Structure 1
């Protein structure tokens, strides 16, 4: 009986293996991707086009590399290129590939599931860009930013006043040309202006119509599906921040994103492109425990804090824009562990609420209030939150919803059971509800922000992977107009893409940051986020009814 059972088991195993061969054979090979050795740039990945009928695989390289540089990529740079093939299950390729000399033809043979063979020729092509897109359009003299409807190819200038003939500031696809060029030839924007954009390849083109108008908005909140990543920069290889685990915060002003690295002057990036735009002058406020974290209010006031009690009394400095210098703002010798995060809602030139979590048992935070541009007291109110799980330890961030009302609700991202994002009643300082989370305790929430966009309130928080294994590092944006609207996020960052483990190295402190900003014209909301040792990223949403 044992022998018969073994025989039947073996027969069933054979059937399972045979079922792995699909009834209809596909092409076998789906793509070949190429990359350069010793290049950590996010651009270092080149896709291919496959002509299955004629057996030709063309790996396409850009004319300029890096793509936004003036460096022309030449064929001699393709002598030793790393290649990776994407194959269907049970498909093999010979000879085995790892590197190719793409200055010459390469031949590979693909054997599919039915043992059928096909030979492909692999070649390289350096191709000029076919992109012809206007990504931003501004009239600096009038303080106007155009609202771009890419589908309709229209750019709306929201103005009730005459604009006249003026020069524009335009971001256009790299290598593309404009006719007429509004950055060199003044145009009268009180009338419709048509701009023909021709791509770098000289053949692909599109026409944009610039007009004074007020585009209609969605009834409430952002347009579904409008979230798109405008740019992503690796802290280490692209921004030159080589030290690990010391970059913990970002401060988003109207025009720049300030990246706080504790042992150096903070750098700031152009908010539209992610390009390095300059360095803050922090003076004596540089040090591992001094410029520990920064954030920004609604009026370009950057707030910088130290780590207390490690660096003595808790201090917050204010810096007016990226050209300002640190000025003393708050000093409180409370002897409590503070400074890993601070948040501000509103403007310290008007009304604002500033919070700093206290990293000890008891779910407490310090709160300062600003009224009419005047700090009400150097001594904060100490608020205790009830109804939560365990104490939030060294990872917590708290942001209020109304800068004029200390009894308004607030949100807390913290690392304690049940590891969920918390919506807290400001009137009673008790838990109102938890927002959904897939966090089982391995991933660390430690930053949050809040903004109202097109009449809809939004809250965002992060979860961070601090290990050398596993996959997390994501961002979750929620519609928090009602407690019933938070069953799932309206946008989240793909896991395992932007974090430290997947880029510069293990995020040992489990730190990162998030910031929400609404454009002055009210048509765009920007989400900026950063993972320590990973990337800083800009995501754009709109509320254009299209």
Structure 2
């Protein structure tokens, strides 16, 4: 055993001796191609996102050019001067085992600077560092809207085309256009009304005066996607504070009516204001003869733009009354007068068109799911006296509820209802049994749902609802749009939250430092006549009124 151990030790010693006789292998590092990859400069004590300026490196002539924008901040009109670069913080991006000296910290970039770069092999190269203030070469159109007509141009940057989706004549109008900072545009459609029934060529010249892009603006009818809303097409078109459009009273703005051209905002006891539906600008005031705190309590509309107003019973008297106007310039006339002591008038909904077929619904408050239902056939209201329907499974909907049917020709079709009661969900009701068929997301009992609407867009049914925050604390004032193609209320078609459009919680009374004492709000779905766009209008009392647009364009 002792001899075996000695033999093993001898072998190990012999192998170590052989190894010791070999000369060590040379260290061959992985040599990167550029050695120095970038030199970044920034202004000290400036934490803006724009404060980082990269370089261009001429490896043949050993010149590093740090490029600064002509304007800084980059979207300002302030012209950057060479004298502004007296003290710049600099950082080098080096390959492994590469060194630069003198040590980098600050540079006076009003003059030439010299640095030495030593690579992995020990070779040193001197670079001259210079600054260049350079005008931008960007020449893109980032927005092209015909705001007066509510048309948003679809920009295809690769093809340099801008598509205006319209089935009707457009004519000569001014455009709302955004282009790259410092660039110019010719002809300028912001100041020259072009005829968009014909293709228009528009050239954008960059700030540097040489780089150019030419776009073709064309009216066209594109293909639609197979069904529903195009993903990520939703955008906030506009939002207006109610106070900015002339509504000064508190807790008196109850609802909105929407036509193709206008959004009518009901303010109790006053003539309603109406806005341009596509840009939110104030367009006029309706003249109603019955204005009063309890007599124009709420407003709504049908799909063809008929505008309805309700009174509040029994407070306003013994008859529930609905007035109808065929447009903002028409004097409303009595449409429904139903003698009753029931509590009605805080909400009214219309499925369909009063010119053809429609179902009108009005919740009966302080009941467990009761609502009144009128039917319109071939433009004729069948009766002044409604059917009284009871939605089963509702715990009692107090003074906040809304009901909308899915099929304006069929009173046994499914309907949708929202309410401040148990169960705290938007409910999809079976129209034949009046029982709950499906429920939406569970809602926080601190907040109040009170509006619902339904529309069919590009062969898919959608339901919209809201959630109102009456307090000076908490986070609500939300809107929701559900895609019903799955057969449930489990799919939200649009993200209105912080990861999406950022609307939820940011357009109600609380965000303006107010409260919403009567828990009022509204939401309306409006499909364009050409079927390419769906608009979601929303209003929160003492807060904002606004509009979201989405489309089904195949692009």
What do the CA deviations read for 1:247-276 (whole angstroms, capped 9, x no partner)? 010111101111111121111111111111
Q: TM-score, normalised by structure 2?
A: 0.70
Runs of at least 5 residues in structure 2 that lack an aligned partner in the other structure: 1-41, 55-65, 79-104, 107-138
Larger radius of gyration: 2
Quick one: structure 1 residues 59 and 169, their matched pair in 2 at CA, closer, same or farther if it must change by over 3 Å? same
The 8 Å contact of residues 337 and 359 in structure 1, kept in 2 or not, is answered as yes
CA distance in 2, matches of 1:241, 1:200: 43
Please point out which of 353, 357, 369 is paired with 1:347: 353
Counterpart of 1:265? 271
Counterpart of 1:17? none
Is it true that 1:436 corresponds to 2:441 in the alignment? yes
Displacement of 1:504? 5.2
CA distance in 1, matches of 2:238, 2:208: 23
Is it true that 1:211 corresponds to 2:211 in the alignment? no
Is it true that 1:463 corresponds to 2:467 in the alignment? yes
Displacement of 1:169? 3.0
Q: TM-score, normalised by structure 1?
A: 0.71
Displacement of 1:280? 0.8
CA distance in 2, matches of 1:196, 1:443: 52
Corresponding pairs, count: 435
CA distance in 2, matches of 1:199, 1:265: 50
CA distance in 2, matches of 1:172, 1:200: 20
Counterpart of 2:550? 541
Runs of at least 5 residues in structure 1 that lack an aligned partner in the other structure: 1-26, 33-46, 64-73, 75-117, 120-128
Counterpart of 1:427? 432
- 1:405-416 alignment, distance < 5 Å: 405-416=410-421
Q: Say what the alpha-carbon RMSD is for the aligned residues.
A: 3.8
Is it true that 1:168 corresponds to 2:172 in the alignment? yes
Please point out which of 495, 506, 526 is paired with 1:497: 506
Please point out which of 147, 158, 163 is paired with 1:155: 163
Quick one: structure 1 residues 324 and 188, their matched pair in 2 at CA, closer, same or farther if it must change by over 3 Å? closer
Please point out which of 299, 304, 318 is paired with 1:299: 304
Counterpart of 1:394? 399
CA distance in 2, matches of 1:316, 1:414: 22
What do the CA deviations read for 1:320-371 (whole angstroms, capped 9, x no partner)? 1111111110000111000000001111111111110000222100011111
Counterpart secondary structure, 1:274: coil
Displacement of 1:204? 10
CA distance in 1, matches of 2:532, 2:520: 31
The 8 Å contact of residues 137 and 169 in structure 1, kept in 2 or not, is answered as no
CA distance in 2, matches of 1:406, 1:501: 39
Counterpart of 1:134? 144
Is it true that 1:449 corresponds to 2:457 in the alignment? no
Quick one: structure 1 residues 315 and 231, their matched pair in 2 at CA, closer, same or farther if it must change by over 3 Å? same
Counterpart of 1:245? 251
Displacement of 1:135? 1.6
What do the CA deviations read for 1:474-512 (whole angstroms, capped 9, x no partner)? 111100123246244533354320110111510111110
Quick one: structure 1 residues 62 and 524, their matched pair in 2 at CA, closer, same or farther if it must change by over 3 Å? farther
CA distance in 2, matches of 1:239, 1:203: 44
Counterpart of 1:476? 480
Please point out which of 344, 347, 367 is paired with 1:361: 367
